[in-house]
Structure 1
Amino acid sequence: MDCRSESATTGQGRFRVNANGKLLDVWLLIRCVSCDRTSKLTVHERTPVSAFNPAELEGYRVNDPELVASRLLDPLLARRSHFTLDWAGAWHLDVPSAVPDEVWPLQVEVIFEDPVPVRPERLIAQGLGLSRNEVRRRVKCGIPSRRPTSAGFTFTVLTGD
């Protein structure tokens, strides 16, 4: 980021492609939430045109929204470009208002529309209104609860007794 801020960014939904002979540079335009300045994230640098999949190249040309999203969600691009996305309020766990006694233990499947960096333990605690200690006691997950995830997961909730 030009402002050297650690703040989140939003996508403008546009790529900029520059040709230099048979080499291409591709940038994704982003906007800093703090200073509102637009910056370029290098997606490809001095890459031979022949190295691109034609569909990907067309996606860059037409500013394909799915391609923009996939690049914004790419953790390697974020790390290399020193930016973070603002995930505050980006997910929640939909929970029924009442669960009948006969369905315990309760098996829950979490599915994300897009890959997101959320710690399963934190999502479960917020969604079920439990403390983290209560989650550790009552919830059995197939993945380590302290590891951030970018894919869906399944967990089982035991009764509070």
Structure 2
Amino acid sequence: MRCVDCRAESATTGAGRFRVNGNGKLLDVWLLVRCVSCDRTSKFAVHERTPVSSLDPEELRGYQLNDPELVASRLLDPLFARRNHYTLDWTGAWQLTRPSAWPDGAWPVRVDVVFDDPVPVRPDRIIARGLRLSRNAVLHRVTCGVPLRRPTAAGFSFTVLAGE
């Protein structure tokens, strides 16, 4: 998101706070974000003119208490990001840890991928980097339960077939 004051690109960070405003039986909820360059605060709409009765009581309590997990889940939600016209910069946000040596044994080999945090990344990129293969080779040698070219933030498993 571009800051309105300093025009810095991708310069906002979650301030960890919600603003809840009630008007009768309707609520507005915003997530406050701060520009890391000029310190200006902006807000992202979470709920607008929403009947209080339609909100989950635990979720409403989280908004009122500025629950850090709720802040993180909103910021990481791709639909929320699209609706509020921002994108998250995931550059350098993930790291692949794997054994130093590929196990000798019978092919095919099954591999499980686990995410500590929900960082969306394309499975073909993770697999290519981990196996030191081209992404084209990954498409030919790997079978997977998720689409290889579509970003995922959930763990998955794949099977590597023997090389030709």
TM-score when scaled to structure 1? 0.86
Report the secondary structure of 2:120's partner residue. Answer: coil
Question: Following superposition, which runs of at least 4 residues in structure 1 exceed 6 angstroms of deviation?
Answer: none
Q: Measure how far apart 1:55 and its partner are.
A: 0.8
CA RMSD of aligned residues (A): 2.1
Report the secondary structure of 1:84's partner residue. Answer: coil
Q: Measure how far apart 1:107 and its partner are.
A: 1.0
Task: Pick which of 25-34 and 14-23 moved more.
Answer: 25-34
Match of 1:80 in 2: 83
Q: State the one-letter code of the partner of 1:152.
A: G
Match of 1:30 in 2: 33
Change (3 A) 1:33 1:126: farther
Identity of aligned residues (%): 73
RCO (CA 8 Å, sep 6+): is it higher in 1 or 2?
1
The reply on whether 1:156 has 2:159 as its aligned counterpart is yes
CA distance in 2, matches of 1:158, 1:34: 48
Residues 7-18 of structure 1: matches in 2 within 5 Å? 7=10, 9-18=12-21
Change (3 A) 1:105 1:34: farther
CA distance in 1, matches of 2:38, 2:145: 41
Matched residues, number: 161
Report the secondary structure of 2:22's partner residue. Answer: strand
Residues 1-161 of structure 1: matches in 2 within 5 Å? 1=1, 2-3=3-4, 7=10, 9-32=12-35, 36-102=39-105, 104-161=107-164
Change (3 A) 1:103 1:64: farther
Change (3 A) 1:139 1:35: farther
Change (3 A) 1:94 1:8: farther
TM-score when scaled to structure 2? 0.85
CA distance in 1, matches of 2:54, 2:124: 41
- Segments of structure 2 that go 5 or more residues without pairing to the other structure are none
Q: State the one-letter code of the partner of 1:55.
A: E
